[in-house]
Amino acid sequence: MIRFFILLLLLSPAFIAEASQQKITNQLIIEKNKQMANLLKARDARKTIDFLHSHVSEQAQFNMIFSNSFMPETAQGQSMTMNKESYIKSFIDGLHYVDNYNINIQTKNIEISENGKMAMSEEVMTEEGVMLNPHKAGDEGVPFLSKTTCHTLYALKGDKILAEKAECLTQTGKINAI
């Protein structure tokens, strides 16, 4: 009999309304970024791919502008647009071509829509490590420091936040050994 009342309570309109009232919170975005940083530090490709697939929209678009001291001056300010697949691939490629990797993601300026279904967040990703030459495996790597600032639009889908669109600026430079 008690089970019947519990089942009735769980199926009541008030409970169903409560479940559908889930909203994006600052903590959801901060926690997502923390999990991503931890996965990238752990350098586990499979878990990183799974995580990104579950937090990036199928229609996602990432507009990237690069300032990179490794590139010739004529290549500075180049931009590219990545879809979900190429965005995820960029992180996985980094696992193979970067050694002594470290990352920090700061989440700033979160603005959540009134209905809590959309949010805009500024995220600053600082990465450092040793860039390896993919064409010559035996070459000594080059120490680098990279800072990427993204303004990311999120949407709530079920109980997860998905990146829908991002405008990013990446600045990368060599670290001189003393």
Confidence band, pLDDT 50/70/90 cuts, at residue 74:
low
Q: List pLDDT tens digits, range 119-148.
A: 999 999 999 999 887 777 677 888 989 999
Specify the residue for token string 């691939």: 89
* Residue in 152, 153, 155 with CA at minimum distance from that of residue 117: 155
Position 44 in a domain: yes
Confidence band, pLDDT 50/70/90 cuts, at residue 70:
low
CB of 49 within 8 A of CB of 88? yes
Q: Is 9 exposed, middle or buried (0-12, 13-18, 19+ CB in 10 A)?
A: exposed
Position 8 in a domain: no
Position 4 in a domain: no
Angle between helices 26-42 and 45-55 (to 10 degrees): 160
Q: Rounded CA gap, 80 and 87, in Å?
A: 11
Look at residue 11 in the predicted model and tell me its pLDDT: 45
The CATH number linked to 116 is 3.10.450.50
CB of 56 within 8 A of CB of 86? no
Percent share of the chain, pLDDT over 70: 81
* The pLDDT of residue 2 is above 80: no
Look at residue 105 in the predicted model and tell me its pLDDT: 97
Position 100 in a domain: yes
Q: Rounded CA gap, 153 and 122, in Å?
A: 9
Q: Is 141 exposed, middle or buried (0-12, 13-18, 19+ CB in 10 A)?
A: middle
Q: List pLDDT tens digits, range 81-124.
A: 999 999 999 888 888 888 899 999 999 999 999 999 999 999 99
Position 69 in a domain: yes
Position 16 in a domain: no
Position 113 in a domain: yes
* The pLDDT of residue 21 is above 60: no
* The pLDDT of residue 155 is above 60: yes
Look at residue 95 in the predicted model and tell me its pLDDT: 80
Position 153 in a domain: yes
The parent domain of residue 156 ranges over 23-174
Domains held by the chain: number? 1
